[in-house]
Amino acid sequence: MSEKAEEEEGYPRERHYPNRPTGDQRAESQRRGEVEEVTASITKTVITRPPPTLEQREQIVVTVPSVHGSTMGRKDNDCNSWRDGGDLKTEADRKLTGSFSQLTLCSTSPEIGNSSDDNSPPLESAFLGDNAVNAGGDDGVKRSHKGKSCEDDEEGHLVYHTGFVMKERYEVVLTLGVGAYGKVVECIDRDKGEHVAVKIVKNIDCFREIARSEIAVLQEINSLDDDNRFACVRMMDWFDHEGHICIVFELLGLSIYEFLRQNNFLPFSVEQIRHMAFQIFRAVCFLHRNKLTHTDLKPENILFVCSDYNLEYNDETQGCKKRKLRSLDVKVVDFGTATFDHQHHESLVSTRHYRAPEVILDLGWNQSCDVWSLGCVLMEFYLGRTLFMTHDSKEHLAMMEKVLGPIPPHLLKQTRKQHYVHNERLNWDEQSSSDEYVRKHCKPLKKYMRRKTDEERQLFDLLSCMLEYDVCRRITLEEALWHPFFSPMRVQKQQCS
């Protein structure tokens, strides 16, 4: 399928960064030069929830911190060989947790607000629900059997106002985000007196089906982790309001991507990466044990439980302000395209920059595609920017080769994308302007290492295991949790248990 055809079919497209190069804008933005300078040490505490302006209410990415804490999982017994994994597969581990505040409604589509994701797995029969009919008009979309509600706008969004009440329980406070799937609003739960986030899906048949599929996954997650041991989003409630599927989540803080953006894309420290990655790996590992693949792991889909921060003097940027998070607890969110092992696997999954080579080459995929995505995510934490910033599949493969070495010939032989291959090698013009871009922006993995400390060597060893072309050789998250890079986290858990 061509790049254009992929877009027309509604597949996920690459993320477009407001402050990063897209298309022909190849020069990397000089982020650190854009931050304000300060003349003294700053100790002011900043809360990431100022009164929202009208403009902020229309933004897709939202800053809503939570007052709730998060839980870490059970004690893991260390072992001599990190690849042995120890006894991580106890029945108590077949569980999961989470909460939600900042929902990116079309988060599997990088061009937020401009496209929808039709990559969700097939619905279970119990969730097929209402018969759909064409609502008429020129849009050609299918709405629920109730037809177009008087409370809907022309795009299928629910029309509401401050104080609007749904289910005689959830009172709208403000709009948090708008996307292709619908809107997210902050509500007061009148029954519990708590603030929650409610995802209001458009009254359009395809979006209702995607929402029901996500609900099925979230219900499974809730049932497997009733004691909230893993860092995944938890659905608190769901209901149908006049044809709009509404999903209720806890409020959380910023996504990691949005925090990076607001912090001028300053990278995280290795210690911060270790703390966040350990939580993420445990959560996604739990999904894998329960035969579920997320398929769209990226910084936008990992949220801080609370993104409050302190402003501090930053020596590395000549006195510029940097934001230091007060907590590194995170949650994995957005299960709209999560796929169980037994379900049909769409050929194209994941947001482009985090898409595994087997997906690009159309070789079929399994849970290992999540491992590749997380390898890219960790590199983004370390660099403060995306490792593979591209909008073209062949260029993407060329960037991989620059960072990781040649793609194994046996994988190129198996690909259905034979136009990517010439003489058992990637069909790539090394004299092209694209190759110049690749050479300018990519280098061998180990050369990204800033310091030759033991912890950085361990991090890059882990990354090399995750960014392995061959899924048969790629590390599993079960194994990754026993990598030496995470030894301090296991010791910490043992001390706290």
Residues 6+ apart with CB under 8 A from 385: 20, 28, 265
Residues 6+ apart with CB under 8 A from 10: 115, 116, 117, 118
Q: Is 296 one of the annotated active-site residues of the chain?
A: yes
Rounded to whole angstroms, how far apart are CA atoms 295 and 343? 13
Residues 6+ apart with CB under 8 A from 145: 130, 131, 132, 133
Residue appearing with tokens 């990466």: 273
Q: How many helices (H) and strands (E) in the chain?
A: 13, 17
Q: Confirm if 99 and 198 have CB atoms less than 8 A apart.
A: no
Neighbours of 126 (CB within 10 A): 8
Rounded to whole angstroms, how far apart are CA atoms 130 and 149? 15
Consecutive H or E run containing 134 = strand 133-134
Q: Using N-to-C axis directions, what is the helix angle for 393-404 and 433-441, rounded to 10°?
A: 40
In one-letter notation, the amino acid at residue 267 is: P
Q: Confirm if 72 and 481 have CB atoms less than 8 A apart.
A: no
* Residue 282, phi then psi, degrees to nearest 5: -60, -40
Q: Confirm if 235 and 222 have CB atoms less than 8 A apart.
A: yes
CA atoms within 13 A of residue 154's CA, in its CB half-sphere: 3
User: Which of the following is catalytic: 76, 152, 296, 334?
Assistant: 296
Q: Which of 202, 193, 15, 27 is nearest to 112 (CA)?
A: 15
CA atoms 457, 85, 376, 474: torsion sign: positive
Rounded to whole angstroms, how far apart are CA atoms 407 and 426? 8
DSSP 350: S
Rounded to whole angstroms, how far apart are CA atoms 413 and 356? 17
75 is in an annotated binding site: no
Residues 6+ apart with CB under 8 A from 250: 66, 68, 98, 99, 100, 101, 196, 197, 234, 236
What residues are designated binding site for ATP?
A: 199
What residues are designated binding site?
A: 199
List, by residue number, the catalytic residues: 296
